[in-house]
Amino acid sequence: MNRPPLGTSVIVGALVLGSVLTGSSDGSADRIGAGGAQSVEVVGVTAVCPDIRQRPGMIASRVSVGAAPLPAGRSGADGAVAAVPVGRGGADQQVGVTGPGQVAVGLATKISNDGLVLSATGGLAAGLEVEQVTRGSAGAERGLAGVRCEAPARESWFVGGATAVGDITHLVLANVDDTPSTVDVSIFSARGAADSRLGQGITVRPHSRTVINLDELAPDQRMLAVRVLSRRGRVAAALKHARLDGRTTKGVDYVPRSVPPASSVVVPGFPRGPGTRVLLIANPGADATTIKVRVTTADGQFVPTGFDDVLVPAGTAIGLRLDGLTNISPLAATVTSDGAPIIAGGVVHDRQDSRIQEMAYTGGSRPLSGPALLTDLVIDRPTESTLILSALEAAATMRVTPIRVLGTVGALPAPKLLTVPAGRTATLRLSTFYPPGTKTRLAVEVAALDGSGPVYAARYLRERAASGPLTTLLDLQGPAQRVSRPLVYRDPSLGS
């Protein structure tokens, strides 16, 4: 089965894995199905929010769940969405989403120091999207920390975090299965690869979480890259980074999963604005490589001066400043290696007229595989959600369609169309769906019209508070509506 584009574990109808040969003397196969792999509908998915915490007056986590409208040609609203804590502290609870094109917000507000497992079946599984936002009001947790809740996986890559003085980086591993998982954690930094023995053989018990402070594995390091690899079982992983300068907050956010090492990686979603923007690149291989960085801005694509021949030593992470460009335009960055595969991400440090800063992380991403759902949009004057869209190869026309949030009333606004020229980055402020002064909750579906080129997308959430900004970034991915099922062969030697 091909891996779906969204990080949800996928169940397809009547799936049988394996290539099986007949016992005939001429070597011919008794083949079930002909003409190549079949395309089948997704009928079940699971997503995990590994790190939910509440502290009255200090920290509040919220989870939003949505089911995207069904694609053309697919009908039926059968199925259900259910939620249960990772620790199984109670029975499964049905979520209010009962049909495609619905979003429920405000979940998990009574869960703390645990995770949440969400599962969907039937027509609701084909478009499941789950997002968590944690808002801290003071201390090291002050700020917005957002993350897409994805499926348990055997391997996850992250680019971000640090363990220097003032930095707090935690890796949360959640095992939602009935058997233990054994995990190896590898860390790379600006100083090279950390001692791999320290992160080997970490056991995560069934239906439980393990929280690891990364300064125990790689102390006093900057610009981390982290690999989580399961020897046995699988885990849902989340990486959270907070920074303090004395008692002054310098930001907090989750580091998103990045695409695995590759010769070319696209990092979308660098917003225009004050503060620093740093492109993070790591080379986890055993050989040095040279990279080139091309940026896609509102005015075009180009390689900035000095970004055409950058050395990344083996096992090392580096950072490149982009804020000279983002003072003028939002952008996406494409990192190309002429040797070893690399991973990449980015960090945004935002500020207002105060010492308090805030950070937001983006990661190496894939283009939209289909319509993507944004489930957590607050329409309120201090808060702005900005959609950042980059078309690297060919022009794209995007349709942004409002989706009903359960519990809200009134007519939904009309969809908006946005053209993104080839080799350009464009933005859409999502508050513009309503007149100024409106306060409500909204979800939107982001889809490319037929004939559009590949598009990379991110949502930048920024709240302007009295003491400084609160921000987080989310890379958009389309859900797995269909997946490929391989051919099935029968081997008589294995019995009936």
Cα separation, 274 vs 184, whole angstroms: 38
Contact partners, residue 305, CB within 8 Å, separation at least 6: none
Closest CA to 468 of 251, 272, 246, 277: 251
Separation CA 373–CA 359 (nearest Å) = 24
- Does 56 map to a domain? yes
Please give the C-alpha separations between residue 183 and each of 42, 46, 175, in angstroms, as whole numbers: 28, 20, 11
Closest to 258 measured CA to CA, from 150, 373, 141: 150
Which amino acid type is present at position 348?
A: V
Helix (H/G/I), strand (E/B), else coil: 140: helix
Residue 493 domain-assigned? no
Q: What is the pLDDT of residues 18-65, one digit of tens each?
A: 323 333 334 334 444 445 555 556 678 899 999 999 999 899 999 999
Say if residues 51 and 172 touch (Cβ distance below 8 Å): yes
- Whether residue 14 lies inside any domain: the answer is no
Q: How far is it, in rounded angstroms, from Cα 189 to Cα 281?
A: 10
Cα atoms in the Cβ-side hemisphere of radius 13 Å centred on 221:
27
Pick the closest to residue 487 from 51, 16, 7 (CA basis).
16
Q: In which element (H, E) is residue 66 found?
A: strand 59-67
CA atoms within 13 A on the CB side of 188: 25
pLDDT at 71: 66
The whole-model pTM stands at 0.88
Token digits of residue 12: 């397809």
Task: Per-residue pLDDT tens, the chain, 496 aa: give them.
Answer: 333 333 444 444 433 333 233 333 343 344 444 455 555 566 788 999 999 999 998 999 999 999 888 766 666 557 889 999 999 876 688 898 988 889 999 999 999 999 999 999 887 887 889 999 999 988 888 999 999 999 999 999 999 999 999 999 999 999 999 999 999 999 999 999 999 899 999 999 999 999 999 999 999 999 999 999 999 999 999 999 999 888 888 999 999 999 999 999 999 999 999 899 999 999 999 999 999 999 999 999 999 999 999 999 999 999 999 999 999 999 999 999 999 999 999 999 997 777 788 999 999 999 998 899 999 999 998 899 999 999 999 999 999 999 989 999 889 999 999 999 999 999 999 999 999 999 999 999 999 999 999 999 999 999 988 888 999 999 998 765 545 555 555 556 655 5
Tell whether 3 is covered by a domain.
no
- Residue 138: what pLDDT? 83
Domain count, the chain: 1
Q: In b/e form, how buried is each residue of 451-473, taking b as 16+ CB within 10 angstroms?
A: ebbbbbbbbbbbbebeebbbbbb
Residue 225 exposed, middle or buried by CB count within 10 Å (0-12, 13-18, 19+) = buried
Nearest to 442 by CA among 387, 404, 473: 404
* Residue 245, CB-side half-sphere exposure with 13 Å CA sphere: 8
Range list of β-strands (E), 236-382:
236-245, 248-255, 257-258, 264-270, 276-283, 289-296, 301-302, 310-312, 316-321, 331-337, 343-351, 357-363, 372-379
Inter-CA distances, 60 with 57, 142, 143, 239, Å = 8, 11, 11, 18
What letter would DSSP give residue 282? E
Cβ neighbours of residue 218 under 8 Å, at least 6 residues apart?
Answer: 163, 187, 189, 194, 195, 198, 224
Count of CB atoms situated within 10 Å of the CB of 80: 15
Can you give the residue range of the structural domain that contains 80? 42-482
Sheet strands (E) in 68-201: 81-85, 93-94, 102-107, 114-121, 128-136, 143-148, 155-159, 167-175, 181-189, 192-193
Q: Is residue 27 part of a domain?
A: no
